[in-house]
Amino acid sequence: MANGAQLAGLVDHAFLKVGAGSTVDALRQAAEDTLRYGFRSLCLPPVLAGTVKKHFPAVRVSVVVAYPLGLDTLSVKLNCVQEMIELGVEEVDIVYDLFALCNSNWAKLSEEARRLGKLTSDANIFQKAIIETPILTDEQIRTVAELLLDSPVDCVKTSTGYHREPTSLDHVRLLRKVVGTRKQVKAAGGIKNFYHLRSMLDAGADIIGTSSSVAIIEEADTVNA
């Protein structure tokens, strides 16, 4: 069974919630935890990316674009991604047009994937396409995953986790079945403990997104002690 350090390298440590605890000190702690535990990346909103890259240049940053509903226009998404590239971020997690997804508008989604994928591919930036599996049918999930197979997108991500049902293991298994080894799969949304993380990996996830990263890794080390 993998120990905490091994699992940390698969985890995008999320700092996306806004509330009374969203302080500069909390952001600093998240960056320090990313380095201390060896998390795969620190997942941030665009407005915080420059600050972290300036003060913690060793932190690998992934930025969530068009969070949480994906309803920005394509030009806005492209401009945001370009700005993040210029700031030096290493990855972007982009919420695709959820209205188009819910209405099976595959032509619009294909255009998003083509243009956003070309931008990130040309800049050598790793892109995860967020498709919000909890609000889709299995057939919609299968179709959008097949669509993304023919795009430059690197990874399919299940969910933002924002006021959604938790990502299901069946949806992770479905994505893995469709994309095979051609794309990576990121599971996010409601992953709160070590056993849930382990189940997502067993279902086929390559990457885990969670804000409970520190607690999960410490729990993993306790289980393996």
- Decide if 93 is catalytic: yes
Tokens describing residue 111: 């255009």
Candidate list 33, 93, 97, 154, residue with the active-site label:
93
- Decide if 186 is catalytic: yes
The CATH fold of domain 4-224: TIM Barrel (3.20.20)
Candidate list 77, 128, 183, 186, residue with the active-site label:
186
Q: Model pTM? A: 0.96
- Decide if 192 is catalytic: no
Q: Is 176 exposed, middle or buried (0-12, 13-18, 19+ CB in 10 A)?
A: buried
Domain ranges of the chain: 4-224
Residues contacting residue 18 through CB under 8 Å, at least 6 positions apart:
none
46-55 helix and 74-87 helix, angle to the nearest 10 degrees: 10
Cα separation of 222 and 218, whole Å? 6
Cα separation of 102 and 135, whole Å? 8
pLDDT tens per residue across all 225 residues of the chain:
578 889 999 999 999 988 888 999 999 999 999 999 999 999 999 999 999 999 999 999 999 999 999 999 999 999 999 999 999 999 999 999 999 999 999 999 999 999 999 999 999 999 999 999 999 999 999 999 999 999 999 999 999 988 789 999 999 999 999 999 999 999 999 999 999 999 999 999 999 999 999 999 999 988 775
Candidate list 53, 77, 128, 157, residue with the active-site label:
157
CB 208 within 8 A of CB 11: yes
